[in-house]
Amino acid sequence: MSQPALWPLAPPSLSPARSSDPREPVLDWIDTHCHLDAPEFDVDRPAVLARARAAGVRLQVVPAVMVSQFDAVRMLAHAHGLAYALGIHPLFVDRAADDDLDRLAAALARHRDDPRLVAVGEIGLDYFVPGLDAARQERFYTAQLKLAREHGLPVILHVRRSADGLLKGLRRIPVAGGIAHAFNASRVQADLFVGMGFRLGFGGAMTFDRALQIRRLAVDLPATALVLETDAPDIPPHWIYHTAAQRAAGETGRNEPAELPRIAATLAALRGWSLAETAAITRANAFAALPKLAGAETTASLRATA
């Protein structure tokens, strides 16, 4: 049964990066999760970054997914004024070597004073994709929680049909909070994550009319629990989503950080907030979830004014 009164969404043509008054500045947004190192961006990465800046996305967090990416992610962050996280993604655990955990530990120790290194991530559990080694995922997840605790860093969590398993690990190995990325679990599970100091990531999936559970969470959770993300190049919003047939025909439907303000307009409409309120609230939440972002933003601002 549809609930139109719950979802008073802005029209698809809305361009929310700017106020309707052209004299007012572009709002400041933080994309708390995007994979700008992905090969999908190899052909036009500078243009992607320029579009993000023009849209008001001033800061982006780029989580690594495997050890071989660590240097590239760090160099990308330093070259373009971004923030980054280091970790081993559950979908890449099966191809990871056992000593990759030692390499992660060494990288975290080597770069612990880097203001752009803001978290351990992307880590977690994935019980959706068939054929993955659940026991190996859990071992890597536990080990990475221990590293996060050792270094006093928050974590960026991959949560796909795995909320209970992730919460179990966090009860055993408490960490300094973080972000449960692309959150799509129950309200009870959401409250448990929030109670452990986590913020929950909302992005392109929230823009679909059929995403009733995600939208309900976006409406009902405390304002302090919400952060925005794109997961670029993945999880496209409805206006750039491509069907399987379109993708097979070569139409990628690639997501990118410049889409974040329009994604934010969905959250604003759901909550009854202005865009300025949405930007301010989600920025504050991002800084609370990832405290070292403040240092990354300061150094990014210095780069921009140099």
pLDDT at 47: 98
Cβ burial of 150 (10 Å; 0-12, 13-18, 19+) is: middle
Confidence of residue 5 (pLDDT cuts 50, 70, 90): very low
Q: Is the pLDDT of residue 15 over 90?
A: no
Q: Is the pLDDT of residue 301 over 60?
A: no
CA distance linking residue 226 with residue 278, whole number of Å? 10
pLDDT at 284: 98
Q: Is 255 helix (H, G, I), strand (E, B) or coil?
A: coil
CB-facing half-sphere around the CA of 281: CA atoms within 13 A: 19
* Per-residue pLDDT reduced to its tens digit, 48-60: 999 999 999 999 9
pLDDT at 7: 36
- Could you tell me if residue 17 is inside a domain? no
CA distance linking residue 150 with residue 135, whole number of Å? 23
Residue 233: cis peptide before it, omega within 30 degrees of 0? yes
Q: Is the pLDDT of residue 147 over 90?
A: yes
Confidence of residue 118 (pLDDT cuts 50, 70, 90): very high
Q: How far is CA 161 from CA 127, 131, 229, 249, in A?
A: 5, 14, 19, 30
Q: Among 52-61, 98-107, 243-252, where is mean pLDDT lowest?
A: 243-252
- Could you tell me if residue 19 is inside a domain? no
**Three state DSSP letters for 111-177:** CCCCCCEEEEEEEEEECCCCCCCHHHHHHHHHHHHHHHHHHCCCEEEEEECCHHHHHHHHHHCCCCC
Q: Is the pLDDT of residue 302 over 70?
A: no
Q: Is the pLDDT of residue 2 over 60?
A: no
pLDDT at 299: 65
- Could you tell me if residue 185 is inside a domain? yes
> For the chain, what is the mean pLDDT?
91
Q: Is the pLDDT of residue 270 over 70?
A: yes
Q: Which domain holds residue 159?
A: 25-305
Cβ 80 vs Cβ 52: under 8 Å: no
CA distance linking residue 185 with residue 117, whole number of Å? 28
- Could you tell me if residue 82 is inside a domain? yes
3-state helix, strand, coil in the chain (%, to 5): 45, 15, 40
- Could you tell me if residue 7 is inside a domain? no
pLDDT at 20: 36
pLDDT at 247: 67
CB-facing half-sphere around the CA of 4: CA atoms within 13 A: 0
- Could you tell me if residue 58 is inside a domain? yes
Q: Among 10-24, 28-42, 265-279, where is mean pLDDT lowest?
A: 10-24
- Total domains, the chain: 1
Considering Cα of 204, then 158, then 112, then 107, what sign does the dihedral take? negative
For residues 9 and 95, which has the higher predicted lDDT (pLDDT)?
A: 95
* Per-residue pLDDT reduced to its tens digit, 258-267: 999 999 999 9
pLDDT at 23: 39
Confidence of residue 238 (pLDDT cuts 50, 70, 90): very high
Q: Is the pLDDT of residue 251 over 80?
A: no
Confidence of residue 173 (pLDDT cuts 50, 70, 90): very high
Would you give the distance in Å from CA 85 to the centre of its chain? 11
CATH at residue 78 = 3.20.20.140
Q: What is the mean pLDDT of residues 267-280?
A: 98
Q: Is the pLDDT of residue 206 over 70?
A: yes
pLDDT at 10: 35
Q: Which residues contact 49 (CB under 8 A, 6 or more apart)?
A: 36, 80, 257
CA distance linking residue 206 with residue 215, whole number of Å? 6
Q: What is the mean pLDDT of residues 52-75?
A: 98
Confidence of residue 278 (pLDDT cuts 50, 70, 90): very high
- Could you tell me if residue 10 is inside a domain? no
CA distance linking residue 170 with residue 251, whole number of Å? 40
- Could you tell me if residue 3 is inside a domain? no
Q: CA dihedral in degrees (192, 234, 230, 132; nearest 10)?
A: 20
Cβ–Cβ contacts within 10 Å for residue 293, how many?
Answer: 23
Q: Which residues contact 98 (CB under 8 A, 6 or more apart)?
A: none
Quote the DSSP letter at residue 210.
T
